[in-house]
Chains A and B, each alone.
Chain A
């Protein structure tokens, strides 16, 4: 409960592994989306490959690639299927019924990695990983179309060490549709009203003081940040100019245009895990 400035080291520990999943063909036509844009599957595939390659080669993570499942058009967005923090992985119960099965493969992969698995068995609970923002010291859970109170409670039970605050999310799919951690104690946030409102709530609920990085485009606020011992701070990002403010970050531009059409943000495409190899 201490109101302590977030020290860089303790926040957002480095990661060793990343779990990703291949694109199913069905993504183009069947994936859920809030808009009605056509997805160029080929281009999407290209972007995804690039993304995985960055994780693998530039960031040096061990990438676990799950095979695509055509019956699960949204399966590439693995983030929603699990929340990993420390040694614990919470297998979620996605809000969209069509996605519930995505968790199976994820659970298997995470078990394989030696994480202790907590499953969300409560039938009344729903939670998408996209609604969960872990700042390093606490969780914010967006209450959205996909995530409900019960889901948040179960998450709180799974991660007892941390405060779990709920944040209403309006007009957006997920909490992380407009924000993400862009560094230790640094929240990247979109400029939209919905985003700013949510940020205010988060600031009020927190015992910690976060810096914020406001981006004109909500989607741009979704980045993948990680602190890699070997490579320093790194961030996958969409918009170069704004992120250049982060002088000490290694910025890795990644295109994500196609997946965005089906509401897929950068963080959606991977589940990051920190596991020592020998455990």
Chain B
């Protein structure tokens, strides 16, 4: 697309913008024969000029809240780049493919999505929904544009290898196989929902999909993650099974759910996983017969009619006779009644719902850890030698292959004690830990813990149980209103086949079946964090909490790559902390009580969090300073698992978060008339993002996160050596919370053009230049020093290149941002570089400035920079420079991402303002789903800093073109 075209599209979409943009961009590009027919032609097929720009962002923007979505785009193409198109096409293809998948997922599981949104209840999702109506127009418009394009893109795609579908085979509980095609990058839940739909199952929260990993260990498929990344090289073969055994099956709403539970238990019993006595085998077997075959018919049912069934691991003639004898006594019982009776008896078995894991105690004695609804059971052989009910447990953690539980001191004891167990390996330790976390959340909590909690509890892995808790699922299923679905029970043949055919699960298999969990708002778990830190978090020191949370922000997916931890964290250690108050609950409290209790806890937390942050360096700051080496790693989800291509150019995503202190986030509700929000933590977080804009609290918390797309490595840029196409992406995400003055301002207002939002114009360009010109260390090599450098750019935006760094140093950077809101980013194309810059702004009034890049050394790369900005409410009025309190830079790296975090605290007008900037560089070839990684990173950042708002996201994507193409 040509410059002209690009600006045209801008004009269409955001007329106001155009005036500024057009001239600026047009000028520089003039020399470059903007309307080169060739270039246009070559691009044509994949991207219609008009919406080519926006279209591309779709990939990322779909993950962003709408307020960040409005975009102005401008793209330019150069004649010299005629070779570029092919590459670009493929990139787009990927994006479209994702969209498709996305769409499909939504279609098939629209209900679920809503539910998920609810359950996640995180800051991201909430705002999206709320603003939807407001921005409907805009969005629709965008979509319209996209659709035609997509269509054309699709046709182009047909030949494209990218559109990969994979067939998944799922073994159902009745032994039958269910196959379904899923997009290669589909997430676990997509498949799970497909299966549930196939089964016509609504009460699905008790179930899950599992697979065998390379080590033949059974793992739960995490619904929130891509399937492909979980199974790695294993086959696409899964098993649908019960994950949480309901304590009281009679409380299940539907018979079909009970039926599935029966099938699972029959398997458990036949395989010996669920031991029971002869009499119980016989009794359960007789109910099975009644359910499957109906009344005993002496003529039809000879003794051998049951030999197809397996009632016990070692089935004897005697047992079969007993089964038949009892079967006769069930005359008249319906299948549903038989199932219910079966369950009533099965649930009393001592090992019902106990998930066993092999382990050794501190003395090396073989024991089994049994995770169940009520807590953790310790077995030695078949004997229960200890039991730790959830209320007794303060903390669960793992470190390397050890699993620890911290025990609440007894009445007479003074100190907490920690009990450690040795698992066969690190993975096993993590697995048992995850299972504990999930069971605790599911059975013990009324609702999954909200992300807010993350703030003060989490340091390590973010693993949380994201599903519904038992309480929630019960509530949900009480709303089920449909005629009991018809379902076909298995024939005896099928059952026996499945039992015979399927490998018998032995105890060890069983123990390994414990799964990987899901990410969700539930509990706190960290992979790899120090317990000390966690404890600090628990301290009622607001500041510490805040800072810790920032810290946490950088850890995304700790699970992905446990190996590379920053020094701050202990490798492989996971901690699961519960709010100690929760521990006080009595076992027999009613749910209401628990609810109340939780509410009060939330209250507590809230007040805790609301405490005014100390402007002075927090403990955390000190700590950090003390250990300069501490680096935090922000790893885009899943990216760790993707091996970077050898030649892969780094993709840089910089997230700059600035922030913090939002007191009473809940104060003003953006849209709702009632400004007062009940103090539940959840509400709080949900409301936050939106509110921040419109309202604000007395404290000015400013959050800034930048996703900065910058060519991470100049080296790469300038090197022509790379032959493989590479992509580089940088993103800067800025979050800002409006100053308190704006408090009552409705969102709408906020959305309105902020006069001040001009700031960054000049900066942007320079930045770009800086990147291009300055050699930056490659992400992998980035030492701390580099981190600083990398950081600087984002903040610099307002100032010309050279000055940028100083700004940062002074801490004034953040202020600059606040004051000048640069809404526009421009770029020009140097002879060889194809650059596309897009700025998205909420503010209609936002002014854009374009700056064109001047001469740039010839580089065979394609760069694209996209900026998403929130409207600034800006209280920017104050020109008074803030006083820099602290500034820190933290760098961490992983396989293909390098994260640089810069945190500055400034004291401005008596208000302390913390700004966090994160720059994430993602390096890899096009196989990596950059958008996803990016989106994940943003999401994580937001989740970790719920009180901060993202004020800007800048994505800079750079794709190196094949040399020959140029």
Q: Which A residues are closer than 8 A to B by beta carbons?
A: 1-5, 86-88, 116, 137-138, 141, 149, 152-153, 156-157, 159-166, 204-207, 209
**Segment from B330-338, B376-384, B670-678, B794-802 that makes contact with A:** B376-384
Contact with B374, one of A3, A161, A164, A165 (Cβ below 8 angstroms): A3
Q: Judging by beta carbons under 8 Å apart, are B279 and A87 in contact?
A: yes
CB-CB nearest in chain B for A141: B383
Q: State whether A157 and B382 are in contact (beta carbons under 8 Å apart), knowing that A2-B248, A209-B587 are contacts in the complex.
A: yes
Contact with A88, one of B277, B374, B392 (Cβ below 8 angstroms): B277
CB-CB nearest in chain A for B443: A3
Q: List 10 interface pairs A-B (beta carbons < 8 Å), by A numbering.
A: A1-B352, A1-B372, A3-B373, A141-B383, A149-B383, A153-B382, A156-B382, A160-B276, A160-B280, A161-B279
Q: Judging by beta carbons under 8 Å apart, are B247 and A3 in contact?
A: yes
Tell me the minimal C-beta distance from B291 to chain A in angstroms. Answer: 21
A-B pairs with beta carbons under 8 A, tally = 84
CB-CB nearest in chain B for A10: B348
B347 within 8 A of partner (CB): yes
CB-CB nearest in chain A for B280: A161
Could you tell me which residues of chain B, from 685 to 735, have a CB within 8 Å of some CB in chain A? none
Q: State whether A164 and B587 are in contact (beta carbons under 8 Å apart), knowing that A204-B387, A206-B387 are contacts in the complex.
A: no
B595 within 8 A of partner (CB): no
Q: Judging by beta carbons under 8 Å apart, are A161 and B248 in contact?
A: no
Contact with A86, one of B277, B383, B385 (Cβ below 8 angstroms): B277
Tell me the minimal C-beta distance from B370 to chain A in angstroms. Answer: 9
CB-CB nearest in chain B for A138: B350
B386 within 8 A of partner (CB): yes
Q: For A141, list chain B residues within 8 Å (CB).
A: 383
Q: For B392, list chain A residues within 8 Å (CB).
A: 204
Contact with A along B632-657 (1 / 0, CB 8 A): 00000000000000000000000000
Q: State whether A159 and B373 are in contact (beta carbons under 8 Å apart), knowing that A164-B383, A206-B387 are contacts in the complex.
A: no
Q: Judging by beta carbons under 8 Å apart, are A160 and B275 in contact?
A: yes
B588 within 8 A of partner (CB): yes
Tell me the minimal C-beta distance from A110 to chain B in angstroms. Answer: 16
B156 within 8 A of partner (CB): no
- List 6 additional A-B contacts (Cβ < 8 Å) besides A153-B382, A205-B384: A1-B349, A1-B351, A1-B353, A161-B280, A164-B384, A209-B588
B757 within 8 A of partner (CB): no
CA distance A178 to B372 in the complex (A): 31
Q: Judging by beta carbons under 8 Å apart, are B350 and A161 in contact?
A: yes
Tell me the minimal C-beta distance from B272 to chain A in angstroms. Answer: 10
Q: Judging by beta carbons under 8 Å apart, are A1 and B280 in contact?
A: no
Q: Which of B248, B387, B588 has the most CB of A within 10 A?
A: B387
Q: For A166, list chain B residues within 8 Å (CB).
A: 383-385
Q: For B248, list chain A residues within 8 Å (CB).
A: 2, 4
Q: Judging by beta carbons under 8 Å apart, are B247 and A156 in contact?
A: no
Q: For A164, list chain B residues within 8 Å (CB).
A: 350, 382-384
CB-CB nearest in chain B for A207: B374
Q: For B389, list chain A residues within 8 Å (CB).
A: 204
Q: Judging by beta carbons under 8 Å apart, are A116 and B278 in contact?
A: yes
Q: State whether A205 and B348 are in contact (beta carbons under 8 Å apart), knowing that A156-B381, A156-B382 are contacts in the complex.
A: no
B354 within 8 A of partner (CB): yes
CA distance A159 to B276 in the complex (A): 8
Could you tell me which residues of chain B, from 373 to 407, have a CB within 8 Å of some CB in chain A? 373-374, 380-387, 389, 392
CB-CB nearest in chain B for A152: B383
CA distance A162 to B383 in the complex (A): 10
The 6 closest A-B pairs by CB, nearest first: A163-B350, A156-B382, A165-B384, A160-B275, A2-B247, A160-B277
Tell me the minimal C-beta distance from A6 to chain B in angstroms. Answer: 11
Tell me the minimal C-beta distance from B165 to chain A in angstroms. Answer: 42
Q: For A160, list chain B residues within 8 Å (CB).
A: 275-277, 280
Q: For B245, list chain A residues within 8 Å (CB).
A: 1
Q: For A209, list chain B residues within 8 Å (CB).
A: 587-588
Q: For B350, list chain A residues within 8 Å (CB).
A: 1, 138, 161-164
Tell me the minimal C-beta distance from A162 to chain B in angstroms. Answer: 5
Q: For A204, list chain B residues within 8 Å (CB).
A: 386-387, 389, 392
Q: Judging by beta carbons under 8 Å apart, are B277 and A161 in contact?
A: yes
Contact with A205, one of B276, B382, B387 (Cβ below 8 angstroms): B387
Tell me the minimal C-beta distance from A142 to chain B in angstroms. Answer: 12
Q: For A165, list chain B residues within 8 Å (CB).
A: 383-385, 387
CA distance A161 to B373 in the complex (A): 18
Q: State whether A3 and B587 are in contact (beta carbons under 8 Å apart), knowing that A86-B279, A164-B383 are contacts in the complex.
A: yes
Q: For A137, list chain B residues within 8 Å (CB).
A: 348
Q: For B352, list chain A residues within 8 Å (CB).
A: 1-2
Q: State whether A153 and B381 are in contact (beta carbons under 8 Å apart), knowing that A2-B248, A161-B350, A204-B387 are contacts in the complex.
A: yes
Contact with A159, one of B277, B347, B348 (Cβ below 8 angstroms): B277
Q: Which of A2, A87, A162 has the most CB of B within 10 A?
A: A2
Tell me the minimal C-beta distance from A136 to chain B in angstroms. Answer: 11
Q: For A156, list chain B residues within 8 Å (CB).
A: 381-383
Tell me the minimal C-beta distance from A161 to chain B in angstroms. Answer: 5
